[in-house]
Structures are given as C-alpha cells and as structure tokens.
Amino acid sequence: MIYISKGIVGKGFTTELIQVIRGGRSIYLSGREADLWLKGRFSFSQTVEEERTLHHLVRMGLAEMEPEESNDARYQILTRCICCPAKAAKRKMGLSMEEKTVLSWLVNAGIRLSTAELVYLIENKVEAGPKFFYPDNRQALVEAIYTVDTITDNILENQMATAGCRDRVVQSILSLLKKKKLMIL
C-alpha cells in the first residue's frame, strides 16, 4: 500500500503530538497515526502492517493512498491532492529545469493547478510566461488547458495518465516536496 500525507504541520509540533492543519481545522495526531503521517510527509511511503491506521488518516483527509506501488498509482494519488507553493518557493537555486518550470506554473498561475493540468501544460509545451500568469490571465490559462477534447469530467486526468511526460512531472512534484518548495493539501 502506497500513500502520501496531506496537510501542514502546525506550531504545536512535538515528538509526541503533531498538530496538522488542513482545510482550516487543526487535527492532533499521536502514536502510530503521527508516525505514519510523518513518513508520508515529504514523499510516498509504503505500509502493510498499518493498513487500518492509514485508512483512518484517509478518512480524516490527511492522506491519499492506493493499494499498489506503481507509477500509475503515484499519478492517481497526486491527482487527488492540491500542490501549493511553500514560502520558500521563490528561490529556485538548485532546481532542475523541469522543477523550475513546474514551480513557476504553481507559483504564478492565477489558479491552483492540478497534477493533470500540470502534465497537460508540460506535455503540450505551453510556455510558462506572463500571458498565462497571475489572476488577470487565469481565463487565458483555463482556455489553453480546457478545450472541447478536455472539458468533460475527469477526461483530462484520464488523458494525462498516458502522457509521455507524466512520470517526469510526478517526479518533479515529489522532488519539490522533498526540497520543501511545495506542500500537499
């Protein structure tokens, strides 16, 4: 079973009790729940023994999981998460070109981009630039992504599941998460 944790660690963080903030509410975790959540905080993690605890974290909205370990599963999990830039996202030193591009889209787009939308932008070589950046240009960005072929419910997620750059984008997201440039909500 593969999973990733969602939420932000609050200021009340200790080794015994972790405050996780998600959706405007604080949830306190301890024991096995806290250990499991921390293991999935900056990357995908696996568990077999803690299945029941993991299902509880998923029900609380603090994790996303899939039963198998695969690139498809990683993509599916990230399509159910919101990737948000962290405060440290402005500094781009030490990042690969693809990481810089993904981060640039996430920081500058006037909307919260999903993983499928990011894959679409990279796959179709849409240039990350001012004509699609900032709230004033969000309509142009939406129109660049959603066409007659992609507007139907969940079709974009399904189409991008087979995109050639999908695994590279997922890897960039995970790398940015480890480098604390992103948060998963």
Question: Which residues are paired to 45 by β-bridges?
Answer: 3
Q: What is the pLDDT of residues 41-91, one digit of tens each?
A: 999 999 988 999 999 999 999 999 999 999 999 999 999 999 999 987 777
C-beta atoms surrounding 13 within 10 Å: 12
Q: What is the pLDDT of residues 129-162, one digit of tens each?
A: 999 999 999 999 999 999 888 888 889 999 999 9
